[in-house]
Amino acid sequence: ASCERVFRPDLDGRPVVVLSNNDGCIVARSAEAKALGIPMAQPWFKLEAALRGQNVAVFSSNYALYGDLSRRVMQVLAGFCPRLEVYSIDECFLDLAGARGDRTALGLDLVRTVKQWTGIPVSVGLGPTKTLAKIANRLAKRGQGPDGPVLDWARLPDPPAALAALAVEDVWGIAKRWGARLRELGISTAQELAAADPRLLRKIFGVVMERIGRE
């Protein structure tokens, strides 16, 4: 949705949705579209009539555009650190080991530079592990940090409270099926997962879940 807005400034503040191949299902939504209650992965034909008059901009997928802008964003990010791991078309991890100065200031500089050079808005989560960095990013997107689009886990006043407010299914790497099994064990929040016995997690779910809990 952000890619479609790069060349259409008139779409700022307007609900935007992107459809899958053959305009089947909704695969991307702007914040304004989410605020309207437009659900993800729903067939467009079921919603089209109901959304008439809502000023929603609808786009067919343009994978060439998204891929090109993704590469541009990753190139900009690569200039901020010696090691970058591209995780998906719109996510990556930066290794800031050895970085000097205030990390939040670095993150804000990163956000400004990416926006200026590519037109794409990004949010930054900083953490000692990938899992905590992902959670910090999630909180930044929701506006729950003091520094806008950047949130440093180390600067949270009460990290356990932040984990306690996060459903276990919202932790990176935990699918819906795993979430249901964890809840059967009395683990419903990220904080409860962090406090769980790693040996038990490994025995029931395997090494991946153990690693998530430790992180």
Contact 104, 147 (CB under 8 A): yes
If 0-12 CB within 10 Å is exposed, 13-18 middle and 19+ buried, where does residue 15 land?
buried
Select which of 91, 184, 192, 215 is catalytic: 91
55: how many CB neighbours lie within 10 A of its CB? Answer: 11
Instruction: Please confirm, yes or no, whether 91 is among the known catalytic residues.
Output: yes
Element (H, E) at 144: none
Q: Which residues pair with 57 in a beta bridge?
A: 16
Q: Which residues pair with 16 in a beta bridge?
A: 57
Local structure of 101: helix, strand or coil: coil
Residue 10 one-letter amino acid: D
Return all residues near 182 (Cβ < 8 A) that are at least 6 apart: 168, 174, 188, 193
Using the structure block, give the residue that is written with the tokens 């794409």. Answer: 120
Residues noted as catalytic: 91
